[in-house]
């Protein structure tokens, strides 16, 4: 979905291009170049904000012959790098027509900017980029407890294997499980399954929460299990 901010950037770029070349000519009759970001001139993507989070963005310059200058608009809250060099507020010279820029967010939120390619002939092309850097989403507990009476008549099995990290599509995962067998036993483990033997029949409460790979804990979920 294109945001109002992105629409505003597109209008500014269109006006800027018209001002630079009001007649739409290319001096000397050379072929126009075209800058594509991920195969398009309006590129949108999402990543999860976190320490060291980066996004690799491929670009290609069509119709380019010889060296081409690549520059970008002002951007706050993020860094854009090409070949190990920060591209913010500077220009690099390319000797080839395709490559990658690396975007690294410095804060969560929406980051909109544009890249411009300019050939020695004077022909130029602009592409717009909008990246959403998501805040970490807390994981959610899915847990069951069953009286199984296998190793003992009072043997209970607690299974939190269906717990999930809600931003798993962006690299999130559940890495730890906290089982609190209230009044009897408490542990944190990387295993989603816990077996426990209660001392006698009865109804027992169990509290479970999970942790994701950004060290965020879910809310605890409390369930009952009946041991006969």
Alpha helices by DSSP H, listed for 81-172, are none
Strand bridging mode 144-147 / 139-140 = unpaired
Residues of the chain with CATH 2.60.40.10: 4-134, 139-227
The model's pLDDT over 124-137, given as tens digits with 9 standing for 90+, comes to 999 999 999 999 99
The model's pLDDT over 101-111, given as tens digits with 9 standing for 90+, comes to 999 999 999 99
Residue 208 · residue 179 · CB < 8 Å = yes
d(CA 204, CA 118): 71
The model's pLDDT over 176-207, given as tens digits with 9 standing for 90+, comes to 999 999 999 999 999 999 999 999 999 999 99
| CATH assignment of 4-134, among 2.60.40.10, 3.40.720.10, 1.20.140.10, 2.160.20.10 | 2.60.40.10
Q: Could you tell me what percentage of the chain is helix, strand and coil, using 3-state DSSP and rounding each to the nearest 5?
A: 10, 50, 40
3-state secondary structure of 11: helix
109: left (phi over 0), alpha (psi -120 to 50) or beta: left
What is the structure's pLDDT at 187? 99
d(CA 189, CA 33): 57
Give strand pairing partners of 164: 140
3-state secondary structure of 172: coil
CATH fold for domain 139-227: Immunoglobulin-like (2.60.40)
The model's pLDDT over 217-228, given as tens digits with 9 standing for 90+, comes to 999 999 999 999
Rg of the Cα atoms in the chain: 27
d(CA 115, CA 35): 8
What is the structure's pLDDT at 51? 72
Structure tokens at 202: 């009865």
């Amino acid at each position: 979905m294109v945001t109002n901010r992105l629409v505003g950037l597109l209008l500014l770029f269109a006006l800027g291009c018209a001002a630079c070349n009001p007649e739409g000519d290319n001096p000397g009759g050379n072929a126009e170049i075209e800058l594509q970001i991920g195969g398009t001139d309006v590129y949108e993507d999402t990543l999860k904000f976190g320490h060291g989070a980066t996004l690799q963005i491929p670009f290609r310059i069509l119709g380019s012959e010889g060296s081409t200058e690549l520059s970008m608009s002002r951007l706050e809250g993020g860094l854009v790098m090409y070949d190990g060099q920060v591209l913010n507020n500077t220009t690099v010279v390319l000797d080839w027509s395709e490559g990658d820029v690396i975007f690294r967010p410095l804060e969560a939120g929406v980051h909109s900017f544009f890249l411009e390619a300019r050939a020695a002939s004077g022909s130029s092309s602009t592409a717009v980029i909008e990246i959403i850097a998501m805040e970490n989403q807390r994981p959610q507990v899915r847990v069951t407890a069953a009286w199984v009476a296998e190793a003992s008549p009072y043997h209970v099995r607690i299974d939190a294997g269906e717990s999930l990290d809600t931003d798993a599509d962006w690299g999130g995962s559940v890495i730890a499980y906290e089982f609190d067998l209230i009044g009897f036993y408490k542990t944190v483990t990387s295993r989603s399954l816990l077996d426990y033997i209660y001392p006698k029949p009865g109804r027992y409460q169990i509290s479970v929460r999970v942790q994701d790979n950004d060290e965020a804990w879910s809310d605890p979920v409390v369930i009952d299990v009946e041991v006969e």
